[in-house]
Structure 1
Amino acid sequence: MKQVTVSQNVNLNLPDVFLTYQKKLMQATSQYSVVICEKSRRIGVTWSIAADAVLTAAKSRSSKGMDVLYIGFNLDMTREFIDTCATWAKSFHHAAAAVSEFIFDDIDENNHTKQIQAFRIRFDSGYEIIALTSRPRSLRGRQGYVIIDEAAFHDDLKELMKAALALLIWGGKVLIISTHDGVSNPFNEYVQDARAKKNKYHVLRIDFDDALKDGLYKRVCLTTGKEWSPESEAQWRQEIIDSYGEGADEELFCVPRLSSGAYIPAILVESRMRKDIPVVRLARSTEWGQKPEQERNREIELWCEETLSPLLDKISLMDTTSYVGGDFARSGDLSVIWPIQVMQNMVRWTPFVVELKNIPFRQQLQILWYIMDRLPRRAGAAFDARGNGQQMAEETADRYGHGHVHQVMTSAAWYLEAFPPYKSALEDATFTLPQDRDIANDHRTVVMQGGIPQIPAKRTKGKDGNQRHGDSLVAAVMAHWASMQNIVEYDYTPANGMEQSSSLRNSDDDDDNDSGGRFSKGAY
Structure 2
Amino acid sequence: MNNTDKYFLPFQTRWINDSSRLKIVEKSRQIGFSYCTAYSAVRRVAAEEERLDVWVSSRDDAQARLFLEDCKEWARTMQIAEPDADEVVFDSKTDFSAHVLQFKTGLRIYSLSSNPNALAGKRGHVILDEFALHADQRLLYRIAKPVTTWGGQLEIISTHRGANSVFNEMIRGIKENGNKMGWSHHKVTLHDAIAEGLVERINAKTGRNESREAYLARVESECLDQEQWLQEYCCVPADETSAFITYDMISGCEDDCLKDFNYLAECKNPLYLGVDVGRKRDLTVMDVGEKIGDVIWDRLRIEMQGRTFAEQEFELERLLALPKLRRACIDATGIGMQLAERARERFGWKVEPVMFTAPMKEELAFPLRGAFEDRTLRIARDPQLRADLRGIKKEITTSGNIRFVGESADSHCDRFWAKALRHHAAAYRGGVGAMVG
Normalising by the residue count of structure 2, what TM-score does the alignment of the two structures yield?
0.76
- Structure 1 pair 36–167 and aligned structure 2 pair: CA distance change class (3 A): same
Do structure 1's residue 469 and structure 2's residue 374 form an aligned pair? no
Matching residue within 311, 314, 336 for 1:370:
314
Alignment match, 2:137: 157
CA contact (8 A) 1:58 1:124 kept: yes
Aligned residues: 401
* DSSP-derived class of the 1:416 partner: helix
Seen in structure 2, the aligned counterparts of structure 1 residues 165 and 237 have a Cα distance that, compared at 3 Å, is same
> Partner of 2:232 in structure 1?
251
Instruction: Determine the C-alpha separation between the residues in 2 that align with 1:412 and 1:341.
Output: 18
State the secondary structure of the residue aligned to 1:325.
strand
**What does residue 328 of structure 1 align with?**
277
SS of match in other structure, 1:197: coil
1: CA distance between counterparts of 2:205 and 2:191?
19
SS at the partner of 1:53? helix
Q: How does 1:444-459 map to 2 (within 5 A)?
A: 444-445=390-391, 457-459=404-406
| Residue in structure 1 matched with residue 286 of structure 2 by the alignment | 338
Alpha-carbon contact 1:335-1:355 (below 8 Å) kept: yes
**Equivalent pair of 1:266/1:440 in contact (CA under 8 Å):** no
Matched, 1:186 2:186: no
Q: What is the correspondence of 1:439-518 to structure 2 with a 5 Å cutoff?
A: 441-445=387-391, 457-462=404-409, 468-475=411-418, 478=421
2:351 corresponds to which of 380, 405, 413:
405
Partner of 1:18: 8
**Quick one: which of 111, 125, 134 aligns to 2:114?**
134
2:293 aligns with none
Query: 1:229 Cα shift?
Result: 2.9
Q: What secondary structure does 2:209 align onto?
A: coil
Map of 1:44 onto structure 2: 32
Please give the secondary structure, in 1, of the residue aligned with 2:94.
Answer: strand
Residue deviations 1:458-510, cap 9 Å, x none? 423525xxxx331134325656886999999xxxxxxxxxxxxxxxxxxxxxx
The corresponding residue for 2:299 is: 348
Amino acid at match of 2:125: Y
Asked if 2 retains the 8 angstrom alpha-carbon contact of 1:96 and 1:121, the reply is: no
Task: Name the CA distance, whole Å, in 2 between partners of 1:190 and 1:33.
Answer: 15
Aligned-residue sequence identity (percent) comes to 24
Give the 3 Å change call, closer, same or farther, for CA 182–419 of structure 1 in structure 2. closer
Structure 2: stretches of 5+ with no match in the other structure: 291-296, 355-359, 396-401
Residues 103, 377 of structure 1: CA spacing in aligned structure 2 closer, same or farther, 3 A cutoff?
farther
Q: Is the 8 A contact 1:152 1:187 kept in 2?
A: yes
Per the alignment, residue 45 of structure 2 pairs with: 57
- Deviation of 1:101 after TM superposition, in Å, equals 0.8
Q: Contact 1:320–1:376 at 8 Å: present in 2 too?
A: no
In the TM superposition, residue 41 of structure 1 has moved relative to its aligned partner by 1.5
Native 8 Å contact 1:339 1:479 kept in 2: yes
Query: For each residue in 1:59-90, what CA deviation from the matched residue of structure 2 results, as whole angstroms up to 9, or x when unmatched?
Result: 12x2x452100011111111111221122112
- 2:204 is equivalent to residue 204 of structure 1: no
CA displacement at 1:142 relative to structure 2: 2.2
- Residue in 1 that maps onto 2:63: 77
Q: 1:251: Cα distance to partner?
A: 1.4
Distance (whole Å) between structure 2 residues aligned to residue 16 and residue 244 of structure 1: 35
Counterparts of 1:42 and 1:484, CA distance in 2: 41
CA contact (8 A) 2:123 2:150 kept: yes
1:246-285 aligned within 5 A: 246-259=227-240, 261-262=246-247, 263-264=249-250
Match of 2:370 among 404, 409, 416: 416
CA distance in 2, matches of 1:422, 1:336: 25
Q: Does 1:170 align with 2:150?
A: yes
Q: Closer, same or farther in 2 for the Cα pair 1:134/1:89, shift >3 Å?
A: same
By how many angstroms is 1:220 displaced?
1.9
Tell whether the 8 Å contact from 2:102 to 2:108 is kept in structure 1 after alignment: yes
- CA separation in 2, counterparts of 1:203 and 1:44? 17
CA-CA distance at 1:156 after TM superposition: 2.8
Tell me the C-alpha RMSD between the 2 structures.
4.1
Amino acid at match of 2:30: R
Q: Is the 8 A contact 1:325 1:382 kept in 2?
A: yes
- C-alpha deviation, 1:56, in angstroms: 0.9
- SS of the aligned residue for 2:230 comes to helix
Alpha-carbon shift at residue 418 of structure 1 (Å): 7.6
TM-score (ref. length: structure 1): 0.65
Q: CA deviation at 1:325?
A: 3.2
Write out per-residue CA displacement over residues 23-61 of structure 1, whole angstroms, 9 at most, x where no aligned residue: 111112x2x01001111122221121111111111112x
CA deviations 1:398-449 (Å, max 9, x no partner) are: 323343224465241244348977852426xxxxx6xxx7556324436899
Cα offset for 1:200? 0.8
What is the aligned partner in structure 1 of residue 80 from structure 2? 94
Are the structure 2 counterparts of residues 209 and 228 from structure 1 closer, same or farther at C-alpha, using a change threshold of 3 Å?
A: same
Task: Please give the alpha-carbon distance, in whole angstroms, between the structure 1 residues aligned to 2:153 and 2:300.
Answer: 41
- Residue 215 of structure 2 is aligned to residue 233 of structure 1: yes
Q: 1:289 is matched with which residue?
A: none
Which residue of structure 1 aligns with residue 195 of structure 2? 213
Distance apart, 1:327 and its partner CA: 1.1
1:128/1:330 Cα in 2 relative to 1: closer, same or farther (>3 Å)? Answer: closer
Q: 1:34 to 1:480 in 2, by over 3 A?
A: same
